[in-house]
Structure 1
């Protein structure tokens, strides 16, 4: 023991519990058995310990337009806040804490990040803020995000808060099928968006990072409603099954093709694009099954289409597909999309088309840099350009390869 009574081990490392560890430790110790509805009052109590008040938890809605307040005991529940032009939205999109002076106090907006997926924002008011407050509240927000994601698996509370309009059964199926809408590590970042959020049926995307290999797929099942959602579910399930069995891309197509054909017959199909990216080298490989070719973005502009040999859509029994390959440069982005994005018609009847998609993509890229912000802005701008309506599913998936490594994250400073 030292003269202050704090325990020190044999190599001189202080292992006693300080204020910050106690504060965060309460959440960690209770998280495994805490009912979802008790997250709010405990978080409010934790914030009060550092002199905070007026705690709000704002979750992203399914259209990625609003941050909607989570109701709960001891939470401040106001109106929704815009993702696009509010302090909460700024914190959400930038993944950084935003501080707004107000009436002699400070309102802090802290991003809720589960890994790198953006869940929403936690807002807190303090009389004054120092670096210790910033550190503790940032870490508290991280724990809150993890708890929301964990508890979301067995409660409807968060789903109901995020839903700002009635949702079709097909859309509920699709949303339950999706991976997180975004993922970021030092070498690569991905983000996706589905439209119409509350009525999507046949579009979906999937990805998985296994070691140095990022697996990606985008699909578009024919038709609308439950039939399309069911077909998309089988296609994604078959894709995941073969991916997890370390199957090469051409055989992934064959397995998906057989699954769709056997389940739905020869008159049903799914267009698909399956890709693998080595995040250490930038080597990209892909197979195209009747899907629109993705755009290559370099230096914040579309510079190419990834044209490649294509086989028949999944379900039609096409020949073994050709696996195409390309080496990416650090900073390159791939924009994948479904045909609903380019086959939609303007109010006057003209088809939207790839040329306008390129034009709008370049316009958005001039104003925005972050991958997630680009995806949101592009999807919403295109929907507005089409008159605010979408008669077909319209999905965007964007990936940025950066190169390098993440070894520094595995060391303790």
Structure 2
């Protein structure tokens, strides 16, 4: 067995097309001694793992399968294969902390020793990096992830969205955009520069392509000011003026723009007519963060923006969200509400789930009662110094 399969994988993917990369990853895994290799990527609904290699393979549910468990827990799992003898290894495909899918490999009995397991973990990491890198050059991976047609408005919103999961020392961030195939008007963004997290959640008036266009413009204005080094007040002013000048009709955008000092835990934010963020401390006691709001972006004649501050404690979770989330219906038909939303985050935090898995389960809970949300539901969940960044990394084989 070749114990160094990486060089050939890298060599072949230099000139491979995006539609070929899954097959190349599967073929080169033979150098590890693996057979029946499968590559699955997660769908937009975060419910199913869609087969990238072999092409046309069977989707796997995240719920109730070993592959799904490997994905949701970012843990490599050993099991018996569905057919024949040997041992099946399910590896999570993780780029940094962004969960992309799974890599399945079958080995003869007794072969999976510690050195080979370590090689498989590194191979899965390299495979995830290659999927992200090659995916930018074509549509094959993107099309595989889709189980339904996507609206033009959602195409625009998703094109601007950052990765759904990011973590670094003392910080974990996860985002959600729903309905994933028909979102138009909500958007979120974040960036980590030095020891500061910059974050924004926006909700443009209306729905569909017109609202998505306003939201996309507002996100671009936010990034322009942020990258220019402006503080929160100057950023808000620039965004407000840009939206008002570009859309002088009745269109407007509610927004939260925030900064978190990763060393001190001081959260600073401005609310432009947006729902109050929630903070969950110690896995309980969810409460709203109070700030004096100004008018939504693009609405003339409002008061000057005021920056609010909150000192976070280690382990605190902060949820930024749009009103479509709190107004969503529960299984019994009642509205979730801010209290219900806070209770859900409390419960998942008490269970020790990561920010990424918490939002995935929140999505499933909301859409269990209905496949069609009444309004866009967007969220950004942030944890400060709670250790989630370690839970989001690929874990030891069980």
Measured after TM superposition, the shift of residue 350 of structure 1 is 5.0
Partner of 2:374: 391
Contact 1:174/1:201 (CA < 8 Å) preserved in 2? yes
Partner of 1:239: 222
Stretches of structure 1 that go unaligned for 5 or more consecutive residues are: 1-17, 407-413
Partner of 1:323: 307
Stretches of structure 2 that go unaligned for 5 or more consecutive residues are: 390-398
Measured after TM superposition, the shift of residue 31 of structure 1 is 3.4
- TM-score normalized by the length of structure 1: 0.87
The correspondence for 2:289, drawn from 302, 306, 310, is 306
The correspondence for 1:211, drawn from 183, 190, 194, is 194
Cα pair distance change 1:34/1:349, threshold 3 Å:
closer
Partner of 2:393: none
Cα distance in 2 between the residues matched to 1:76 and 1:157: 11
Cα distance in 1 between the residues matched to 2:365 and 2:386: 30
Q: For residues 53-202 of structure 1, what are the structure 2 equivalents within 5 Å?
A: 53-71=35-53, 75=54, 77-102=56-81, 103-127=84-108, 128-202=111-185
Cα distance in 1 between the residues matched to 2:285 and 2:28: 47
Q: Secondary structure at the match of 2:250?
A: coil
Bigger mean CA offset, 267-276 vs 183-192: 183-192
Alignment deviations for residues 363-413 of structure 1 (CA, whole Å, 9 cap, x no partner): 33344521111111112212324x343021011211101179x9xxxxxxx
Q: For residues 19-30 of structure 1, what are the structure 2 equivalents within 5 Å?
A: 20=3, 22-30=4-12
- C-alpha RMSD of the superposition: 2.1
Q: How many residues align?
A: 383
Partner of 1:409: none
- TM-score normalized by the length of structure 2: 0.91
Contact 2:26/2:39 (CA < 8 Å) preserved in 1? no
Bigger mean CA offset, 219-228 vs 366-375: 366-375
User: Structure with the greater relative contact order (CA < 8 A, sep ≥ 6): 1 or 2?
Assistant: 2
Bigger mean CA offset, 202-211 vs 315-324: 315-324
Partner of 2:360: 376
Q: Secondary structure at the match of 2:117?
A: helix
Cα pair distance change 1:302/1:26, threshold 3 Å:
farther
Partner of 2:396: none
Find out whether 1:34 has 2:13 as its counterpart: no
The correspondence for 1:52, drawn from 3, 23, 34, is 34
Measured after TM superposition, the shift of residue 149 of structure 1 is 0.8
Cα distance in 1 between the residues matched to 2:279 and 2:172: 15
Cα distance in 2 between the residues matched to 1:45 and 1:53: 9
Bigger mean CA offset, 176-185 vs 26-35: 26-35
Contact 1:335/1:398 (CA < 8 Å) preserved in 2? yes
Partner of 1:267: 250
Find out whether 1:364 has 2:348 as its counterpart: yes
